[in-house]
A and B are shown apart, each in its own frame.
Chain A
Amino acid sequence: MTLLDQFQLFLKAQGWPEWAYYTVPALAGIVVIIGVVLAAVIVYIWWERRFVARIQIRLGPNRCGPEGIFQPIATAVKILLKEDIVPANADKVLHFIAPIVVFVPILMIFAVVPFDRGAILVDLNVGIVYVIAISSISVIGIFTASWASGNKYSFISGLRSISQMVSYEIPVVLSIVGVVLMTGSFSMIKIVEAQTVPFILLQPLGFLLFFMGALAEMNRSPFDLLEADSEIVAGYHLEYSGMKFAMFYLGEYGMALAYSAVITTVFLSGWQGPFLPGVIWFLVKVMLVFSVIVWIRSMMPRMRVDQLMSFAWKAMLPMALINLLVIAVEVLVIPSLQWLMLIINFGLAAVLILLFSRIFTLGGGRVEV
């Protein structure tokens, strides 16, 4: 029974017409989700800037508001007041649509993220599949943006984005299938409730693969080839300014937030935790995941595009397949012996990482021209 169901029942009891007690709670839920996500994104931007600054022995923004917490708002206002420039040789319609296509799916992911017990907009029975499907849509937006800009750097970025996102979907999905096998359900709530022991302990390799794949999916370092500022200036949002750029910017952080939330839900047992209320646990875990992402970003050099692809296809895909196979066998043979699974899976992770670090060769090098 989610909060929305309760709200619906309450409206029903008040004698509201039938159309109203379906639409009003849904609309209320959407408004709340969008508000929460945008507020969280602002906190995220602030946190990333401050955290990276402290790693880099700087202070970071600290002028607007207490400890600079209003800096993202000031930035947003500045961006909104800027002139919206459309390049002369841009495809004007696509140039307009692309930011929306990037931003909206990211908000849609949050429809199935359980913030607390019952605090979920809709408990789809295919929740995790929905997440994967929806999050792939923004690739189209990114490619549209890069194509519509009519800029060569953007176009390189768009080509990179397609290859990167499509390749990394596969290990991400395969590592999630392991979780689904253990849970026996696609529903996000069921996945959280199944985690008496967090899946990060039961499936360390799955977590690692999912985390790396997620980094690539949300264009974070070391897989941030789409917006490699030293190579292709800023990539797909090079020709964007004003509100449209803000959409991309929010979309990027919204994606990071969404994936942190999904990682928290799928691998870190979501809202579950002792003493504190569920939503606090959830937020703490999300923040922790995001901090790790920022931490990795702060020092990792960027991979090259061919290395990126060979890493996905030659290392992550076989590892994910073997991981899936072993978990499937475990679920069949020893479904109740979780401690044994834990030992086997840790051993598997160690062996596979050692093995692949020996046999896997990053691709490419010079091409004769």
Chain B
Amino acid sequence: MKFERYGVGIAKGLGMTMRHLFRAPITVQYPEEKLKISKRTRGNELVWFPDRCTGCGTCTKACPQGNIVLVTHRGEPNKFIVDKFECDTGRCIFCGLCVESCPYNALAMSVKYECAKYRRGDLVLGKEKMAVSAENRPSAYCRPQFEEGLPAQSLLLYNREEGGQKLKFIPLSTRKRGSHA
């Protein structure tokens, strides 16, 4: 192999890196600024609508991991009362098949994503933790009816002014760029 172009290629590459030096970084300073996540996020917890759930158990059958535990007893005529509804998020693979299969729209994925726990037992979610509430909001995964309240996703494709993630200018100080969420 010869250096036929006497270093022109190397110079081109150096020029390219030099040009990148004057571009804004794409790093996101995570705890200070958070990106807006996808509307269809398959977040870390299931959102359960107790009033809609009939206890049919389709979700337990749809789960590839066999991860959802549903125990019911017969209440009034033609109605199941859910005694126990549990999902171990430590074993969950977040495929979303349970949500997709629910015939009564009683289950949705959550938009939460910071759900690290100190104990394994805390990962098991029961009825109360999964029930829909102000903190436990449903995402629009297979549930387009929830799409409206959620913020638009910030894509790297667009500049910040257009609701994206890309910075236009190099920040003078990189310490804290303020909240973006």
Residue numbers of A with Cβ under 8 A of B are 53-60, 62, 66-68, 295-296, 298-300, 307, 353-354, 356-358, 360-362
Contact (A299, B16) CB under 8 Å given A66-B175, A357-B3, A357-B6: yes
Residue numbers of B with Cβ under 8 A of A are 1-7, 10, 13-14, 16-18, 20-21, 23-27, 29, 173-175
When the two chains form their complex, are residues B6 and A353 in contact, meaning their CB atoms are under 8 A apart?
Answer: yes
Given the complex of chains A and B, what is the CA–CA distance between A66 and B173 in angstroms? 9
Given the complex of chains A and B, what is the CA–CA distance between A59 and B26 in angstroms? 8
A305 vs chain B, min Cβ distance (A) = 15
Given the complex of chains A and B, what is the CA–CA distance between A358 and B13 in angstroms? 21
When the two chains form their complex, are residues B7 and A353 in contact, meaning their CB atoms are under 8 A apart?
Answer: yes
When the two chains form their complex, are residues B25 and A54 in contact, meaning their CB atoms are under 8 A apart?
Answer: yes
Which chain A positions have C-beta within 8 A of B17? Answer: 55, 295, 298-299
When the two chains form their complex, are residues A354 and B26 in contact, meaning their CB atoms are under 8 A apart?
Answer: no
Which chain A positions have C-beta within 8 A of B24? Answer: 57
Option from A59, A354, A357, A362 in Cβ contact (under 8 Å) with B174: A59
Which chain B positions have C-beta within 8 A of A59? Answer: 25, 27, 29, 174
Name the CB-closest residue of A to B176.
A62
Which chain B positions have C-beta within 8 A of A295? Answer: 14, 17-18
When the two chains form their complex, are residues B21 and A357 in contact, meaning their CB atoms are under 8 A apart?
Answer: no
When the two chains form their complex, are residues A67 and B174 in contact, meaning their CB atoms are under 8 A apart?
Answer: yes
Given the complex of chains A and B, what is the CA–CA distance between A298 and B15 in angstroms? 12
Name the CB-closest residue of B to A356.
B3
Which chain B positions have C-beta within 8 A of A300? Answer: 10, 13
Contact (A361, B174) CB under 8 Å given A54-B25, A57-B23, A299-B16: no
Option from A55, A66, A357 in Cβ contact (under 8 Å) with B2: A357
Given the complex of chains A and B, what is the CA–CA distance between A132 and B26 in angstroms? 43
Which chain B positions have C-beta within 8 A of A296? Answer: 14
Given the complex of chains A and B, what is the CA–CA distance between A259 and B38 in angstroms? 50
When the two chains form their complex, are residues B4 and A58 in contact, meaning their CB atoms are under 8 A apart?
Answer: no
Name the CB-closest residue of A to B10.
A300
When the two chains form their complex, are residues A357 and B14 in contact, meaning their CB atoms are under 8 A apart?
Answer: no
Given the complex of chains A and B, what is the CA–CA distance between A356 and B26 in angstroms? 41
Known: A56-B20, A57-B24, A62-B175. 8 other contacts (CB 8 A): A58-B25, A295-B18, A300-B13, A357-B4, A357-B6, A357-B7, A360-B3, A362-B3
**23 A-B contacts (beta carbon < 8 Å):** A55-B17, A55-B18, A55-B21, A57-B20, A58-B25, A58-B26, A59-B27, A59-B29, A59-B174, A68-B174, A295-B14, A295-B17, A296-B14, A299-B14, A299-B16, A300-B10, A353-B6, A354-B6, A357-B4, A358-B2, A360-B2, A361-B1, A362-B1
